[in-house]
Structure 1
Amino acid sequence: MLRLTNVILPLDHPEADLAAAILERLAIPAQDLLGFTVFRRGYDARRRSAITLVYTLHVEVRDEPAVLARMSGRTDVVIAPDTSYKYVGQAPANLATRPVVIGFGPCGIFAALILAQMGFRPLILERGKVVRERTRDTWGLWRKRVLNPESNVQFGEGGAGTFSDGKLHSQIKDPKHYGRKVLSEFVQAHAPEEILYVSKPHIGTFRLVKMVEAMRETIESLGGEFRFESRVTDLDIERGQIRGVVLENGEHIASDHVVLAVGHSARDTFQMLYDRGVYVEAKPFSIGFRAEHPQSLIDRARFGKFAGHPLLGAADYKLVHHAKNGRSVYSFCMCPGGTVVAATSEPERVVTNGMSQYSRNERNANSGIVVGITPEDYPDHPLAGIDLQRELESRAFVLGGGNYDAPGQLLGDFVAGRPSTQLGSVIPSYKPGVRMTDLGPSLPDYAIEAIREALPAFDRQIRGYALPDAVLTGVETRTSSPVRIKRLDNFQSLNTRGLFPAGEGAGYAGGILSAAVDGIKVAEAVALSMLGRTDVRGGEQQGEQLY
């Protein structure tokens, strides 16, 4: 099998042009082309008047060695890599103990799935409810202003990624093709097959709900066991070795191998870890607002006359500005044709996030517009970032009127430094509602200054972005974990053997795909440890890539 990269064709090319492009690239007659598949399809919209599709193809040809010899030295024709997943081992039939996975978001799902596929029969503990009950509770906040602190956008089966755009792309290095394993398992769980080849795959919330249920059923069929509404409140640690976990009801569950995949909002868990002496350190994250524009404005700016083309869908964007005060302002978790959602998990606090359905056909585009901050911006304490998040979320609650409405401001008013009193042409999508006000007091002065400078600058990258009637909704604080639970190259905690910090909450991922990939790596490390082997694959993944 050969891999052909950078095969460029017009946006509306006939299907037969793909085969013709292969024949031309390889300089072979038609009878020597035995078959091909599309491995990746993206688009190049740098020239709006001539948008092209860019393909990576896997091709079968007659006499492959001769073709390769003729293409010697070229980087656009190579042997296609083996992207199939290889398990690191198999659990023995007489397995004495089973691993515990805490949390069932993207990281926990794949940690549990890989362990189950290797025969380790994991026990999964999730503090929230099953995904359909969780969905009802989440709608309770959005529609009735009733928050369930244990069942919401952050907590419950599927994790925070369930109520998101369902983006499945990442910038992490992936030489072992773990991402392909993730996408393949999603397709097995009834995701659309196109996620295997489009360059920016996404699924959307409604489809994610069904997929999470299907993956739970698969894990159960392989011997995994689930305990929902089971919050872990303590760890049993003996001379630096994990021996089990303690649930809120006092129950002790013994295990020498515990995967900690709790997500970026498990603040009580982070406090417990710190109190128990597990090594935790502060890490950078970002704070800001959600910006909403008409999706049609973004489509025209990005695609010109091709706006609305079915192969392009709703346009996205990626923006960054380096402000004069030294801060970087950038777009985060951009949701084409989506909605801004209430994402708090604690009473009397307001947090925003973005979400899209598979269709991406809502009237507005939204994105986080956020400012990077570091531990130097708050007191020198491992959990100080959490304190800052809580302070800003409490401010937003008050500015929004104290009823879970979010504070909002027109972009033009924000840049001019004057409060907003009424909406313009853009109707915000956040539920329960948006209270127009002055967002100036909602963030530290350095963040407000940087965002005020960035918004007009973004207009030079996307014409119309500084639309005065665009709506900013506050606040966005859960961009990534404010802590890192440091781990060694064997993926175990720096000072607690048998504890495997993983995913976004541990500070090693950002987004569905990177969290899922980290779950696979950690599952492999757990399996090798339980089998008494030390050949951990992959090493430590530093930092996170944000959407």
Structure 2
Amino acid sequence: MIRLSNIQLPLDHDAAALENTILSMLEISTKQLVRFNVFRRGYDARKKTNIMLIYTLDIETTCNDDLLVKFAEHQQIKETPDLDYHPVAHAPITLTERPIVIGFGPCGLLTALVLAQMGYKPIVLERGKEVRERTKDTFGFWRKKVLNTESNVQFGEGGAGTFSDGKLYSQVKDPKQYSRKVLNEFVAAGAPDEILYVSKPHIGTFKLVAMVEKMRAQIVELGGEIRFSCRVDDLHIEEGQITGVTLADGEQLHSKHIAIAVGHSARDTFEMIYKKGVYIEAKPFSVGFRIEHEQSAIDKARFGPNAGNEILGAADYKLVHHCKNGRSVYSFCMCPGGTVVAATSEENRVVTNGMSQYSRNERNANSAVVVGIDPSDYPGGPLAGIEFQRQLESHAFIMGGSNYDAPAQTVGAFLRNETPETLGTVSPSFKPGIKLTNLADALPDFCIEAIREAIPAFNKKIKGFSFEDALLTGVETRTSAPINITRDRESLESINTKGLYPAGEGAGYAGGIMSAAIDGIKIAEAMALSINAKATQ
């Protein structure tokens, strides 16, 4: 097929515009055009009164080869690349060892799925519950303030990404087009077909729940095994080689190929593997608050008179500001038409995150506004970042009233360093609830200083961002893991523990659903190649 890229058409173009553009660019007749499909559709909203749709199209004609020769120098006309996924290995007929995958979030899910599709019959160990039971526990915490420390926003089938905006795009380099493999698997599991072509695809929590169940069923059908409520409490390591695990109930499982894809909040697991001698480094992460505006205000600021257009949907944004004190403040995990949610996994701590459904039709937009920090801000060793997070979360719990309500402050009061007495026009979406207070001591002084400088700066890019009644809710601390479980660039094994494959967000190699899933595929391939190599020795 032939790929046409960077095709720009007005937002309100008619149905015939795409076909007419193809015929014009390729200089062919209607009879020579066999079919075409949209590979990607984005938009350019820099001019709010003249928003353009940007297409990438795949075309089949009766004269493909001739056209590729004719337009060989044309930058917008190329041969469509092969995007089919090609397995790197297949399990030997006499498979003597089943790989183990610890964690069943996006990374563990794709690791297990790809291993199963290649015939390796993985065993998945997930400390939390299956996704529907986990959803009940999570909503129960939001409504009744009863926390299950093993089944919540962070732990359970589907991982933290289940209770998020469900974004399916990433900035990671993806030369092998693993992202297409991920999207195809999601569509096969029930995701809308549009995620294959819109520039910023998303799914939302309720659709993710059903998808995860179908992908789990496929793993089981292919011979894999999924064990829920199975926390790994120990690793078996002999002379630098992983040999197995011990579960919380004392059961031992043996394998020399184990992926650890536990997400960014498995603090007890991080502590355990550090004590076992697995090499870990402290790494940068970010902390801050959630900010809420009315979604209609963000739509108007981004799209002007085209706000509300069905193709554009609910507007998002991405902002960054470099502060005078040397810090960087940026928006993170922006959730159009969503809610701010309670995301703690430990008792007597408050953590915020953002979530939205596929429709993105809730009243508010929310995003984290966070400040980058690094190990020099929390000295004390590889696990010092965990303690730093815990201190902020425990203090937020107290500031919110010691009942899992979150401390909150209107933006106007925050900028003036005042305690607000009442809310304005922006209603808080956080459940269980909020307590109005002064957030000045919720974060280190340098963070508060940086955010106070950044919000007015963001207002120059998104009109209304510093709106008096916009609401800040604290604290956002789980932007990423505060550690890196360092791995070899070639084998993807831990640099000092053979057979242990650090994976995804919890190991410091991903930052969202898509990047975690992509990393899961890489890990599955590395494990498969290693198993086969050892089988032939």
TM-score by length of 2: 0.99
Counterpart check, 1:502 vs 2:513 = no
Which residue matches 1:219? 219
Question: In the alignment, which residue of structure 1 is the partner of 2:336?
Answer: 336
Equivalent residue number for residue 40 of structure 1: 40
Q: What CA deviation, in whole Å up to 9, does each residue of 1:317-348 have, x standing for no partner?
A: 00110010000000000000000000000000
Matched residues in 2 for 1:282 and 1:25: separation? 53
Letter in 1 for 2:523: V
Hey, what does 1:268 align to over in structure 2? 268
Return the letter of the residue paired with 1:442.
A
Q: Report the secondary structure of 2:329's partner residue.
A: strand
Secondary structure of residue in 2 paired with 1:497: coil
- Aligned partner of residue 273 in structure 1, secondary structure: helix
CA distance in 2, matches of 1:36, 1:328: 44
1:270-295 Cα distance to aligned partner (Å, 9 max, x none): 00011000000001100000000000
Distance (Å, rounded) in 2 between the aligned partners of 1:502 and 1:15: 44
- CA displacement 1:235-283 (0-9 Å, x = unmatched): 0000000000000111110011000000000000000011000000001
SS of alignment partner, residue 462 of structure 1: coil
- What SS does the corresponding residue of 1:35 show, helix, strand or coil? strand
CA drift at 1:533:
7.2
Looking at structure 2, the residues matched to 520 and 54 of structure 1 have their Cα atoms a distance apart, in angstroms, of 30
1:475-494 alignment, distance < 5 Å? 475-488=475-488, 489-494=490-495
**1:347-366 aligned within 5 A:** 347-366=347-366
Alpha-carbon distance in structure 1 between the residues aligned to 2:508 and 2:318? 23
Residue 210 (structure 2) aligns with: 210
In the alignment, which residue of structure 2 is the partner of 1:111? 111
> Aligned with 1:435: secondary structure?
strand
- 1:373-419 per-residue CA deviation (whole Å, 9 max, x = no partner) reads 11111114000110100000001000000000000000001011111
**Alpha-carbon separation, structure 2, partners of 1:15 and 1:126:** 48
Question: What is the match of residue 517 of structure 1?
Answer: 518
Match of 2:238 in 1: 238
| Displacement after TM superposition at 1:62 (Å) | 2.1
**Residue matched to 2:136:** 136
Partner of 2:431: 431
Q: For residue 405 of structure 2, what is the aligned residue in structure 1?
A: 405
Any unmatched runs of 5+ in structure 1? 535-547
**SS of aligned partner of 1:446:** helix
Measure, in 1, the Cα distance between the counterparts of 2:43 and 2:246: 50
**Map 1:65-76 → 2, pairs under 5 A:** 65-76=65-76
Please give the alpha-carbon distance, in whole angstroms, between the structure 2 residues aligned to 1:264 and 1:466: 31
Q: How does 1:21-60 map to 2 (within 5 A)?
A: 21-60=21-60
Q: Which amino acid aligns with 1:524?
A: E
Amino acid at match of 1:124: V
For residue 538 of structure 1, what is the aligned residue in structure 2? Answer: none
Report the counterpart of residue 374 of structure 2 in structure 1: 374
The CA deviation at 1:20 is 0.4
Deviations 1:53-92 (A, max 9, x none): 1000001122222212221212111111000000011101
Deviations 1:434-493 (A, max 9, x none): 100000111000000000000011110011111000000000000001000000021000
Aligned mates of 2:409, 2:296 — CA distance in 1:
21
Tell me whether 1:187 sits opposite 2:180 in the alignment: no
The root-mean-square deviation of aligned C-alpha atoms, in Å, is: 0.9
Amino acid at match of 2:397: F
CA distance in 2, matches of 1:232, 1:6: 49
**CA distance in 1: counterparts of 2:271 and 2:13, whole angstroms:** 56
Distance 1:70 1:214 in 2: 46
State the partner residue of 1:417. Answer: 417
State the one-letter code of the partner of 1:515: A
Residue identity in the other structure for 1:491: L
Letter of the 2:530 counterpart: S
1-side partners of 2:327 and 2:32: how far apart?
56
1:175: which partner in 2? 175
Q: Deviations over 1:24-66 (max 9, x none)?
A: 1112222211111100000110100011110000011222222
Distance 1:63 1:193 in 2: 29
The residue that corresponds to 1:463 in the other structure is: 463
SS at match of 1:314: coil
Match of 2:156 in 1: 156
Aligned to 1:308: 308
Structure 2: distance between partners of 1:167 and 1:533: 38
Secondary structure, in 3 states, of the residue corresponding to 2:506? coil
For 1:517, the aligned partner's letter is I
Match of 1:292 in 2: 292
3-state SS of paired residue (1:480): coil
CA–CA distance in 2 between the matches of 1:69 and 1:214? 44
Q: Return the alpha-carbon distance in structure 2 between the equivalents of residues 72 and 210 of structure 1.
A: 45
2:380 & 2:345 partners in 1: Cα distance?
A: 25
* Distance of 1:165 and 1:194 partners within structure 2: 16
- Pairing 1:473–2:470 present: no
Residues 55-64 or 450-459, more deviating = 55-64
**Aligned residues: percent identity?**
64
Cα distance in 2 for partners of 1:486, 1:27 equals 53
Structure 2: which 5+ runs fail to align? Answer: none
* Amino acid of the structure 2 residue aligned with 1:416: R
| Structure 2 equivalent of residue 545 of structure 1 | none
Matches within 5 A, 1:523-534: 523-532=524-533
The residue type paired with residue 192 of structure 1 is: P
The residue type equivalent to 2:263 in the other structure is: G
Q: Which residue identity lines up with residue 105 of structure 1 in the other structure?
A: G
With 66-75 and 282-291 compared, the bigger mean Cα shift is at 66-75
Report Cα offsets for 1:87-106 as digits up to 9, x if no partner: 01110121011000000000
Q: Structure 1 length as normaliser, TM-score?
A: 0.97
